[in-house]
Structures are given as structure tokens and as C-alpha cells.
């Protein structure tokens, strides 16, 4: 399949060139699209210079910073229009090892439309993470799985391999999440669409250069939207089904009581 890696960037001047070089060394047959939100540190210019050196690297510069989800959707639309059959998501901060990409792509077997590089399946690791980061990530994933009834160990991982057809079928381009919630929303849409996904282990290495994009607003977006989707898609339908069942049982009981009253049958069947 024709494959492309979509890498969203903002303020990644310290990492983007090394990432592109490592990507090309480990995956010589894969194209790359860098989607930069007009980083003031010159990320886009460095990516363009690396593109001239490495080849098969394109850079899309968006006019303003509008969040991870919007950056990904802009990149997805472009590469889908260009006819790529396989689309890879990867962070720009070197937390995702480009050398692991062939194993993730190999997991995209028949019937599987999305492979998530998972930190929480056997073989997955998160070395050097502080305790509070581990706790926040694990709690968030457990809450998401419980509320949305997802059988996915790592709902927030950003290292992913897609069949383009699955991405389109699941309506990922119609999603609305802005931050890291976009990863949860995409996986949820795949499951809701009846498509199949798989998880493959990865070693996630925290960034050593640059600043994390995680913030209180990002956490709130995830918590509020996941809770709302759970209420909308699972709690409300379940309550409606119970109410409908209760109404039917009440109506049946009422009819039985009406027909069992003395003289009721005679009046009902008489002239």
C-alpha cells in the first residue's frame, strides 16, 4: 500500500530534523507530511530544509494554531486526496520510535482497519515516566474504557496506522475534537462504525527537548466530552429501554386486571 506518515508540529524546531532523518532511515519507502501550525521557532523552515536533503517529505503550513485534532484532519484530507492507502500518525517530539513503524504496519492485517501503538498491552513500556504521569494516564484510560465501553487498552496513544478506507468509513474527517481527545474520538468512531482495530506494543519515550502540549484545558476537554458521549450513547439509551420495558409491563398488567374484573368478560362478549 502507498503509505504516508502525518506529523503535526508546533514549536518542534529542536526535534523535527532528527525525527525526519530517523523516519527516512527506518522507513525508506514511506512518504512524510509535516503539518505545522506556523510555529514561531522556525519548525516549518527546518522541515523544508530536511525535505530537500531526504526527499519524499512535504510540509503543509497552516496559518494559525488550532489544535492537534484540526492539524491531523487537515493533513488527512490532503493525503487522502493524493490517493494514499495507508496513513500513519506520529508525534514530532521523538516519543514514538520510527524504527517501530514496520511492526505496527505489519499488524494491519486483513480485517483490521486501525492499529494503535499501545503502551498498555504486553510488551508496551513507558520508561522514566514519573508516578503522577503514569497515574493520570492509566486512570484516564480506565475511565474512558468504562464510560464508552471500549475494549482498547491505550485510547490516547498517538502512534497509529490506518487503512484510509477505515478512516473514511468511520467518519474521522467529520470529528470535532481539538486536542488529544481526537485520539479517543477516532478510536470510538471506528468501534461505533463496526470496523476492527488492533493494538501492538510500543515503547513510549517522553520528550527530552521542547515543551509538552498537555494542559488543564486538554484534560478538561477529554473528561467532559468522554463523559457526555457515555451519557448520550449508553446511559440515555439504557434508561429509555428500561422505561419502555416498564411501560409495556405496566400496560400488560393493567389489561390483565381489567379483564379479570367480575362481569367484565360478560359485558365484553354480550350483545
Residue 97: pLDDT band (50, 70, 90) is very high
Cα 51 to Cα 44: distance, rounded to the nearest angstrom: 10
**Could you tell me if 175 and 69 are in contact, meaning their C-beta atoms sit under 8 angstroms apart?**
yes
DSSP 3-state assignment of 203?
Answer: strand
Instruction: For residue 12, give its domain range.
Output: 3-216
Spacing of C-alpha 245 from chain mean position: 35
**Could you tell me if 86 and 101 are in contact, meaning their C-beta atoms sit under 8 angstroms apart?**
no
Cα 98 to Cα 113: distance, rounded to the nearest angstrom: 20
Tell me if 156 is assigned to some domain. Answer: yes
Tell me if 94 is assigned to some domain. Answer: yes
Instruction: Look at residue 253 and tell me whether its pLDDT is greater than 70.
Output: no
Tell me if 196 is assigned to some domain. Answer: yes
Spacing of C-alpha 51 from chain mean position: 28
Tell me if 149 is assigned to some domain. Answer: yes
pLDDT per position as a tens digit, 165-204: 999 999 999 999 998 899 999 999 999 999 999 999 999 9
Tell me if 269 is assigned to some domain. Answer: no
pLDDT per position as a tens digit, 195-237: 999 999 999 987 666 565 556 676 778 888 889 888 888 878 7
**Could you tell me if 125 and 23 are in contact, meaning their C-beta atoms sit under 8 angstroms apart?**
no
The residues that bridge with 163 in the sheet, in sequence order, are 86
Check which CATH number belongs to the domain holding 89 and give it. 3.90.550.10
pLDDT at site 104: 96
Cα 207 to Cα 92: distance, rounded to the nearest angstrom: 9
pLDDT per position as a tens digit, 12-71: 999 999 999 999 999 999 999 999 999 999 999 999 999 999 999 999 999 999 999 999
| Beta-carbon contacts of residue 81 (< 8 Å; ≥ 6 apart) | none
Tell me if 174 is assigned to some domain. Answer: yes
The residues that bridge with 198 in the sheet, in sequence order, are 115
Q: Which three cell numbers stand for residue 130?
A: 514519573
The pTM for the full model equals: 0.84
Tell me if 233 is assigned to some domain. Answer: no
Tell me if 87 is assigned to some domain. Answer: yes
Residue 128: pLDDT band (50, 70, 90) is confident
**Which uninterrupted H or E stretch holds 257?**
helix 236-259
pLDDT > 90 in the chain, percent: 69
Number of separate domains in the chain: 1
Spacing of C-alpha 210 from chain mean position: 24
Residue 256: pLDDT band (50, 70, 90) is low
pLDDT at site 123: 95
DSSP for residue 233: I
Q: Which three cell numbers stand for residue 203?
A: 515503547
- Report, as an integer, the average pLDDT of 73-102: 96
**Which uninterrupted H or E stretch holds 24?**
helix 16-26
Cα 113 to Cα 164: distance, rounded to the nearest angstrom: 8
| φ, ψ dihedrals at 27, nearest 5° | -140, 75
Amino acid at each position: 500500500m502507498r503509505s504516508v506518515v502525518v506529523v503535526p508540529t508546533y514549536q518542534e524546531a529542536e526535534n523535527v530534523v532528527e525525527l525526519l532523518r530517523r523516519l527516512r532511515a527506518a522507513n525508506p519507502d514511506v512518504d512524510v507530511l509535516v503539518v505545522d501550525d506556523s510555529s514561531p521557532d522556525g519548525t516549518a523552515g527546518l522541515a523544508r530544509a530536511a525535505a530537500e536533503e531526504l526527499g519524499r517529505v512535504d510540509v503543509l503550513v497552516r496559518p494559525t494554531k488550532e489544535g492537534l485534532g484540526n492539524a491531523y484532519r487537515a493533513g488527512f484530507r490532503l493525503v487522502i486526496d493524493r490517493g494514499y492507502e495507508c496513513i500513519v500518525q506520529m508525534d514530532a517530539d521523538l516519543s514514538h520510535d520510527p524504527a517501530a513503524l514496520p511492526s505496527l504496519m505489519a499488524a494491519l492485517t486483513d480485517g483490521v482497519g486501525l492499529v494503535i501503538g499501545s503502551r498498555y498491552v504486553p510488551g508496551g513500556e513507558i520508561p522514566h515516566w514519573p508516578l503522577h504521569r503514569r497515574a493520570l494516564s492509566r486512570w484516564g484510560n480506565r475511565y474512558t474504557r468504562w464510560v464508552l465501553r471500549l475494549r482498547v487498552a491505550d485510547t490516547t496513544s498517538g502512534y497509529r496506522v490506518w487503512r484510509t478506507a477505515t478512516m473514511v468509513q468511520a467518519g474521522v474527517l467529520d470529528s470535532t475534537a481539538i486536542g488529544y481527545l481526537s485520539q479517543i474520538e477516532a478510536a470510538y468512531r471506528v468501534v461505533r462504525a463496526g470496523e476492527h482495530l488492533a493494538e501492538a506494543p510500543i515503547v513510549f519515550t517522553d520528550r527530552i527537548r521542547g515543551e509538552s502540549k498537555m494542559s488543564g484545558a486538554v484534560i478538561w476537554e477529554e473528561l467532559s466530552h468522554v463523559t457526555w458521549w457515555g451519557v448520550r450513547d449508553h446511559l440515555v439509551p439504557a434508561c429509555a429501554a428500561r422505561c419502555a420495558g416498564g411501560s409495556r409491563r405496566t400496560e400488560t398488567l393493567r389489561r390483565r386486571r381489567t379483564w379479570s374484573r367480575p362481569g367484565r368478560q360478560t359485558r365484553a362478549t354480550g350483545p
